[in-house]
Amino acid sequence: MTTLRDIAEELGLAVSVVSRALSPDPAKSAAVAVATRRRIQETAVRMQYRKNTAAAALRKGRNIGIGVWLPEARDRLVGLIAKGVGEGAMRENLPLFLSIGYTEDVFSEFIRMSSHYAHSGLISYAAPFIRFPELGGELRRYCERGGKMVMLSCYFEDFQIPGAVNVGIDDEYGGFLAGAHFRELAAPELFFFGVESKRYRGVCRGFGTPVPRLESPEQVAAVLDRNDSGGKPFAFAAASDSLAAEIQRLALQRGLTPGREVLMIGYNDSEIATSQPWPLTTIRQDMYQVGLQAVGALSSMVAGEEVKDVLIKPELIRRTTA
């Protein structure tokens, strides 16, 4: 294993110079001559130097690595975020402290650990209870003390932690894609199944007119039981694949064929989408990219760079139901 000392001896320099040259902190990095730094960096590459993170952490008095909190795995999306985060961390040589759960307990334990351990930074999924003063307050204080944080897929437009950077999916655009697709198909009547959200507003914008919003299976059933469509298909944009699956179930129970008499578009491209009797047309979100970009953003923040929010565009996956 190559150490700083090896490089220093090789070049006849002091260890500290090498350390400074190889550290990303821009403030200190000015303190090394450009030529020297270049020589050092070249030698580091040639000798396959990799920083001993344990030693760096020890010296810095804080544990190195990033704390990651993801919601409980209800579908494969979490796995995909984890994949992105894992790969990003690997690239940056950053160890992970990974916590997955969807309860306040898990989250507050995570916060406790992170504060206690003062990791290099935090990546946190934006769960609803982040708004609770006790938990959100911890995060806020973490950022105030100079902690670096990335929030994943923040749906809460009215909730923002100062200093935190958001990385997520452009949900409004996802809804737009669904609405626009139905407009192209010339669907005579469109319904949205799910709560008021960016997705819903996107659907309305894409379709071109305000779309009635349904919140319960009963309301969906009532629409399907209507007999006034004149043979034209009912169209539904759902806020998730599982809601779209619910629509499909209700349709099948009534002998209506998905993709012909009832059109539906899901959201997420989860495993549900492909495993339905009529595989769902849906909106895919690249959660792998979300994870990857989150680590990238965090590592830039730690290096002292200015980082902007990242919004990733979803895409329409066309299958059998619309």
Where do contacts with DNA occur on this chain (CB under 7 A)? 1, 3-5, 12-17, 19-20, 22-23, 25, 28, 30-34, 36, 49, 51-52, 55-56, 58-61
- Phi, then psi, of 293 in degrees rounded to 5: -65, -30
Closest to DNA by CB, 13 vs 187, is 13
Find the binder of its own copies among 25, 42, 134, 271 (CB under 8 A): 271
Nearer to DNA, 73 or 118 (CB): 118
Whose structure tokens read 């007999």? 227
Six-digit token pair at 196? 């008021």
Taking CB under 8 A as the criterion, the residue among 11, 73, 143, 256 binding its own copies is: 73
Residue 303 touches which of its own copies, DNA, none (Cβ within 5-8 Å per kind): none
| Distance in angstroms (rounded) separating the CA atoms of residues 297 and 292 | 9
The answer to whether 72 contacts its own copies (rule: CB under 8 A) is yes
CA 3 to chain centre: 36
Q: Least distance in Å: CB of 16 to DNA? A: 3
CB of 242 to its own copies, least distance (A): 6
Residues in the chain: 322
For residue 31, the partner it binds in its own copies, DNA, none, with Cβ less than 5 to 8 A by kind, is: DNA
CB 306 within 8 A of CB 321: no
Residue among 31, 33, 58, 185 that touches its own copies (CB under 8 A)? 58
Q: Which is nearer to DNA, 49 or 176 (CB)?
A: 49
Residue by residue, what is the 3-state secondary structure of 138-184? HHHHHHHCCCCEEEECCCCCCCCCCCCEEEEECHHHHHHHHHHHHHH
Q: Which is nearer to DNA, 62 or 254 (CB)?
A: 62
**Shortest Cβ distance from residue 285 to its own copies (Å)?**
13
- Residue 86 binding target from DNA, its own copies, none, CB below 5 to 8 Å by type: its own copies
- The CB density around residue 258, as the number of other CB atoms within 10 Å, is 25
Query: Closest separation between CB of residue 154 and its own copies, Å?
Result: 20
Which residues ranging from 76 to 105 are in contact with its own copies (CB under 8 A)? Answer: 76, 78-80, 82-83, 85-87, 89-90, 95-101
Residue 150: φ, ψ to 5°: -120, 130
CA distances from 42 to 20, 36, 37, 45, 59 (A): 15, 10, 9, 5, 25
State both tokens at 22. Answer: 């190889």
Q: E-assigned strands of 89-145?
A: 96-100, 121-125
| Residue from 124, 153, 248, 281 binding its own copies (CB under 8 A) | 248
Q: Minimal distance in Å, beta carbon 65 to its own copies?
A: 5
User: Least Å distance between CB 32 and DNA?
Assistant: 4
Identify the residue whose tokens are 């982040």: 130
Q: Which residue has the tokens 């953003």?
A: 297
Interaction partner, residue 14 (DNA, its own copies, none; CB < 5-8 Å by kind): DNA
Buried b (16+ CB within 10 A) or exposed e, 60-97: eeebbbbbbbbbeeebebbebbbebbbebbeebebbbb
Contacts of 33 (CB under 8 A, 6+ apart): none
For its own copies, give the closer residue by CB, 11 or 15: 15
What minimum distance in Å lies between the beta carbon of 121 and DNA?
15
The residues binding its own copies (CB under 8 A) are 1, 50, 52-55, 57-58, 63-65, 68, 70, 72-76, 78-80, 82-83, 85-87, 89-90, 95-101, 109-110, 113, 116-117, 241-242, 245, 248-249, 252-253, 270-272, 275-277
